[in-house]
Homo-oligomer: A and B are copies of this chain.
Amino acid sequence: MTLPERQLANAIRALAMDAVQAANSGHPGMPMGMADVATVLYSDYLKFDPTDPKWADRDRFVLSAGHGSMLAYATLHLAGYAHPTMEEIRNFRQLNSPCAGHPENFELAGVETTTGPLGQGLATAVGMAIAERHLNAIYGDDLVDHRTWVIAGDGCLMEGINHEAIGLAGHLGLGRLIVLWDDNKITIDGSTDLSTSEDVKARYAATGWHVDSCDGHDAADIRRAIDAALADDRPSLIACKTLIGFGAPNKQGTSATHGSPLGADEVAAARANMGWTAEPFVIPADIADAWRGFGQRGQALHAAWSDRLVSSDKKKDFEDRLSGKVAPGDAFKAYLDGLVAEPPKVATRKASENALTALTADIASLVGGSADLTGSNNTKTSSTKPLNRNDYSGRYIYYGIREFGMSAAMNGMALHGGVIPYGGTFLVFSDYCRGAIRLSALQRQRVVYVMTHDSIGLGEDGPTHQPIEHLQSLRAMPNLLVMRPADAVETAECWAIALAQDSRPTLLALTRQNLPLLRYDVTENLCLKGGYRLRSAATARKVVLVATGSEVSLALDVAEKLEAAGQGADVVSMVSTELFDEQDAAYQADLLPDDALIVSIEAGTTFGWERYTGRHGLRFGIDSFGASAPIDDLYRHFGLTVDAITPKILARLGA
């Protein structure tokens, strides 16, 4: 690179090494290594308007190698975004600074997605690229015409999710996705030779990607490679050959620069080496001016775009769509009324399909899919024709056997905006995508996980397919709404609640097996309170049975037996512990009074149910792995029957 352009990049390097040094914590190596690439990207390619970080038609930039967060903070600051300020950069990694250790979408408007868990940034970007093509197919080039750029490291490419993500991107032909790989041959443990012998480019090519390499420290070569990528209609991987920690004369090219401050001496040596004479956290005026000029191109494009939007007959629809505000419409109301008129005995997965049939008719932004379990998850409706490379306007994605990739892609769609994603797999395979579910929750995104076959009720497939610990382990996750409806009415209510969330994901746990309808009054969404009294004791209340999903009808049967034995029993349908825990103390105490024996029934682990039963209540569930057998045999085997449960409760009551 020529000196002036190199100096523009050195501004990133200086901020990165200084901020890490000040925090005495962080990762200088990646920002310093990729500074030249990032500078070329911002100067010549990235479409952005620093005065409006949420402009709908901006390019999305994802720093998948999130540990190099100072690259994001430096470029946002230099490019003229309101945040981070230099003061915020000075407070890198300190409490209340938006410049967190890893980039967080909720801290800075210019950060498109939270990254740090390796591989997920790139996989999230795939979802953004899907959303872009989908909305482009609907609204046309005038309104939706942007790219998704990713900077990724070796870690992102080694993680399993990378395989799923690039397979999906290649299959869908997402040509507007460009990945700039920081090909520095270094991981935390040392040389990549320690752990991999892969020809990464050949692997990407095998999945339908355009691949190229460039000298990541040569601006002209970077431009050549990016131009070639732009000209190719496949998604692109550019291996940017870089030196990690470029500019630090004694440490560059080694893992010593990866995750630790360079140290005062090496910082000084790097300054000298780079010809960087400004004080820490000071950017020379000419360099600052040049950086701020990068946004002008995007601002002009933004202005032209705004003009097109104003004159578009799709303006209102587009703005409504991007606002994300949706509500169930007439089809859903008709469905709900019909439920009570003709009570179905259906599995909640089927009830979910029925609700979705109405909702996808009502709400155009719903885009569904499944990780190769479409017929089992019941996720496809007549409104959702396939989305594929020949027709991006479709609303159903065959994700393949890629649970993690699907979930991360859904995060990307939600973050992109204009799309409300839902997708299915078996509940037990939430383990396969848990990392992405966590990022849905952390990033406060409205993603709906349709997780079917939610207990031993799936029967013969056996313990590998039967969730035991999953419901409770997911309930333990912050900001995730786990809902386990008991019948078709509750399932519909849960869907309405899920779509009404503006800052959290929902996971619906649904049965394979048929369940009777338990609720006949749909005037109020009772699931909103998380738990509600489905049955009141006919005689003096001695027991409160708290159950979820398929075990609610079991609890009702147990209650009948208890009443017959003279023991009054309430039944609480605990659809969502999170929502119930958000109710006031009086409501909670009314449902779960101290003077009653509280009994939990759920066909999963009893771990954690003490939250409601207390230490000395009764908990019915399964504290081992499941087994392979027909459903009725399993419920008997695990003691989840009226005949097994009732005597134990009576014994505890001394009755």
Is A189 a contact of B464 with CB atoms below 8 Å? Answer: no
A273 part of interface (Cβ distance < 8 Å):
no
B404 touching A160 by the CB < 8 A rule?
A: yes
Cα distance A155–B154 in the bound complex, in angstroms: 25
Query: What size tier do the contact residues of chain A reach?
Result: 35 or more
Q: Which of B95, B101, B158, B207 is within 8 Å of A203, CB to CB? A: B207
A36 beta carbon closer than 8 Å to chain B: no
- With A94-B630, A95-B634, A188-B376: A610-B607 Cβ-Cβ less than 8 Å: no
Does A164 reach chain B (CB closer than 8 Å)?
A: yes
Determine whether A80 belongs to the interface, using a CB cutoff of 8 Å to chain B.
Answer: no
Q: Give the distance in Å from the alpha carbon of A343 to the alpha carbon of B404 in the complex.
A: 45
- Docked complex Cα distance between A100 and B95 (Å): 52
* Contact A94–B629 (Cβ < 8 Å): yes
Residues of chain B within 8 A (CB-CB) of A386 are 194
A364 to chain B, nearest CB (A): 23
On chain B, the residues within 8 Å of A299 by CB distance are none
Please encode chain A, from 142 to 180, with 1 for each CB lying within 8 Å of some chain B CB and 0 for all others: 000000000000110011111110011011000000000
Whether a CB of chain B sits under 8 angstroms from the CB of A227 is no
Residue among B202, B207, B401, B608 making CB contact with A197, cutoff 8 Å: B207
Bound together, the chains give a CA A386 to CA B117 distance in angstroms of: 26
Bound Cα distance A96, B637 (Å): 10
- Name the B residues within 8 Å of A136 (CB-CB): none
Contacts A197-B207, A464-B102, A612-B615; is A623 near B370 (CB within 8 Å)?
A: no
Report the minimal beta-carbon distance from A198 to chain B, rounded to whole angstroms. Answer: 5
A372–B194 CA distance with the chains assembled, in angstroms = 9
Chain copies in the assembled complex: 2
**Chain B residues whose C-beta falls within 8 Å of the C-beta of A221 in the assembled complex:** none
Chain B CB within 10 A, most for which of A435, A459, A637: A435
CB-defined contacts of A583 to chain B, threshold 8 Å: none
User: What is the minimal beta-carbon distance from A163 to any residue of chain B, in angstroms?
Assistant: 3
Q: Chain A, 455-495, contact with B by CB distance < 8 Å: what is the 0/1 string?
A: 00001111111001100111111110000000000000000
| Supplied contacts A119-B401, A203-B206, 5 more A-B pairs, CB within 8 Å | A93-B629, A93-B630, A102-B628, A159-B402, A197-B207
26 pairs of residues in contact across A and B, judged by CB atoms under 8 Å: A26-B460, A94-B629, A100-B463, A102-B462, A102-B464, A102-B465, A102-B628, A104-B462, A104-B628, A155-B401, A158-B372, A159-B164, A159-B401, A162-B163, A171-B198, A187-B372, A188-B375, A189-B372, A195-B372, A203-B206, A441-B625, A476-B476, A476-B607, A478-B624, A610-B610, A610-B614
A-B interface, 10 closest residue pairs, ranked by CB to CB distance from nearest: A160-B160, A195-B400, A473-B473, A163-B163, A116-B464, A608-B608, A95-B629, A100-B628, A202-B206, A101-B462
